[in-house]
Structure 1
């Protein structure tokens, strides 16, 4: 199987690429010319590095070519945590990329649906499940929508998959992984997966290591039983408490 990864130069994206390669998979990554990538990637026969001036400027025709031999795709794209990344353009980086990827897959009309895994956030509700949140959290989320464009981007990216692609698309199957507060732990540790948040992402946030996010995304892509359990859903990840303290 071959997987295309966008956002591969980010903290979680690099870990996902490494785990896919460790599992023996072939991988394509799309990165900016200015991106920093591990030196070992440049000498790996199972890894194709596609460099572009701007991720947001990729055409539908180019993406169609990039995806034509891929059976799965993963997005770890996000906004840089600085003023330009939060308030500058493109404000819909993730949503626009998910839309582009879906359009390219549909244009290729694959014989089997392509798996798409989106890295999202526990701060975004799965409105297919009508998840209950407190009035206080609703008020804060309303403010986040006004003040933090990346939050809206995360919501719209997941909504595109839920609403536009849906659950019975002939060419695209999807899952949106929702970690809580991201932390860095070198190794994969024990973690738990829930269909909906087990705690408030704003007032009682849990922790999720980037290594565990990458591991679960890898499992979704490679393990059919895991995929069947979670496709069309937005699973939430938390590090197990013992692991988080180790």
Structure 2
């Protein structure tokens, strides 16, 4: 018996990276999983793919409705869809600020709002938001991205407070830099991608990037009824970035 046997889960941004690793892990725990993604064409069974743009309320409502019809309800929501940005406040224009907040923050709120009526009908409802170490540590040239993830952390706690009396748990994971295709695309924007990757590895106290399946396992725990007394919590999966202060080595 898996921890999530009989439960239905929705994972946004679930066609690659952390989202795909999470969808596959939840399936392994016994859940039936719908993947909501801008491009779900490569999603294969037992996962069920639905096209969804979290920046559009109509798209979110349609995708959640389709997932409910396919799964028979929703017990778990993993808000993973998001975008990255590189630069200081001088580098990024107003349109990019608006776009990233619309996807990374308001997108989670849209998905949560659409799913809440179905979560209220569940015996084990849970929402897990994918936040970031950028919410709790100042990182260079990540001003906009960090601002959105700080908002996700605050949103997680506010949602947990709003819905605790309905039995709906809301938590988030704070990954460090994860070795995913998304991070690879960001690295490719750097002047020297290999040097940037080496710097990211060195920034992690463990000396390596986080693996997507490590984040997925943390999400699986927070989504599970075994975490029934855990809500309003952020769980760092960051190789020690948040808490460790190691001496410099030469």
Give the TM-score of the pair, scaled to structure 1: 0.66
Aligned to 1:101: 111
Aligned to 1:71: 75
Contact kept in structure 1, 2:35 and 2:50, CA below 8 Å: yes
Aligned to 2:178: 182
1:158 alignment partner, one of 153, 163, 168 = 153
Structure 2 unmatched runs, 5+: 1-6, 181-199, 241-250
Aligned to 1:27: 33
Secondary structure (helix, strand or coil) at the match of 1:174 reads strand
Aligned length: 197
Indicate the structure with greater strand content: 1
1:213 maps onto 2:222 in alignment: no
Contact kept in structure 1, 2:86 and 2:145, CA below 8 Å: no
Structure 1 residue 168 displacement after superposition: 2.1
Quick one: structure 1 residues 37 and 211, their matched pair in 2 at CA, closer, same or farther if it must change by over 3 Å? same
Aligned to 1:55: 54
1:122 maps onto 2:133 in alignment: yes
Quick one: structure 1 residues 164 and 220, their matched pair in 2 at CA, closer, same or farther if it must change by over 3 Å? closer
Give the TM-score of the pair, scaled to structure 2: 0.65
Q: For the aligned residues, what is the CA RMSD? A: 3.3
Structure 1 residue 74 displacement after superposition: 0.6
Matches within 5 A, 1:72-91: 72-80=76-84, 87=96, 90-91=99-100
1:149 alignment partner, one of 144, 150, 166 = 144
Quick one: structure 1 residues 19 and 164, their matched pair in 2 at CA, closer, same or farther if it must change by over 3 Å? closer
Structure 1 residue 81 displacement after superposition: 5.5
Quick one: structure 1 residues 79 and 65, their matched pair in 2 at CA, closer, same or farther if it must change by over 3 Å? same
Secondary structure (helix, strand or coil) at the match of 1:236 reads strand
